[in-house]
Amino acid sequence: MDFSQVMRDVFPLLLRGMVITVETTIAALIIAIFLGLFFCLMGMSKFKALRLIAKAYIWVIRGTPLLVQTFFVYFGIPQLIQSLGFDFRLTPFTAGVITLSMNAGAYIAEIFRGGIQAIDHGQMEAARSLGLSHYRAMFRIILPQAVRISIPALVNQFIISLKDTSIISIISLADIVYQAKIYIGRTMQSFATWTIVGMVYLVIITVLSQISSHIEKRLDYGAKNRHTNR
């Protein structure tokens, strides 16, 4: 079987798998953004207990492999709940979304923390002097600017999470890698199939990288314009 024949045979399977890959990544990133913001604010809280919880979460997630986290969510959590007498199972898609959102959430928390710390402290002081509480100043003044600064890094995290779905395929998530393994199991066309999979990933990642670069340039251009207008 030549390369072009493998391309014709496997591409429809890979296309279905890529839809699952993108759906899983988008769902996970939406949850991860809220999770990351939540733990970012916890980590910057004046309460020590909240800071310790946030630090522990980030430490555990960043200190353990994604594969271990995947097995923990897919096998470990259901077994724990079943031991309590409940019939509980997770589908590969649900487990994949939970794992990716937990994993990305820890990194996004650090992205947001960096964005907040990049804002001039004088803005918080000025907002407080105008009568705004700390939390209102944070949500109305600081966070909108921090999110804007963090957009390029968030796009980069999307790229990382998209590639990380290939690890989630170990629990039979029907993503592009899983579909490729099924096809190879039927045809034994490993070289051509994995080459095509790599090409598909390269195209998607290249497009996302260009989008990230474009956004970063636009943000820099907007910042320079505001500075010039002053």
Per-residue pLDDT of the chain (230 residues; tens, 9 = 90+): 677 888 888 888 888 999 999 999 999 999 999 999 999 989 988 889 999 999 999 999 999 999 999 999 999 999 999 999 888 989 999 999 999 999 999 999 999 988 888 888 778 778 777 777 777 787 778 888 888 888 888 888 999 999 998 899 899 888 899 899 998 988 888 998 999 999 999 998 898 888 878 877 776 655 555 555 55
Domains and CATH numbers, the chain: 3-229 (1.10.3720.10)
CA distance 8 to 72: 37
Name the DSSP letter for residue 120. -
Per the document, the length of the chain is: 230
Sequence-distant (6+) residues with CB within 8 A of 145 are 115, 119, 123
Task: Look up residue 132 and give its DSSP letter.
Answer: -
Rounded to whole angstroms, the Cα distance separating 164 from 167 reads 5
- φ/ψ of 64, rounded to 5, equals -125, 145
CA distance 46 to 185: 55
Task: Please answer whether residues 111 and 153 qualify as being in contact, where contact means their C-beta atoms are separated by less than 8 angstroms.
Answer: yes
Alpha-carbon span 44 to 66, nearest angstrom: 26
Among 29, 55, 68, CA closest to 156: 29
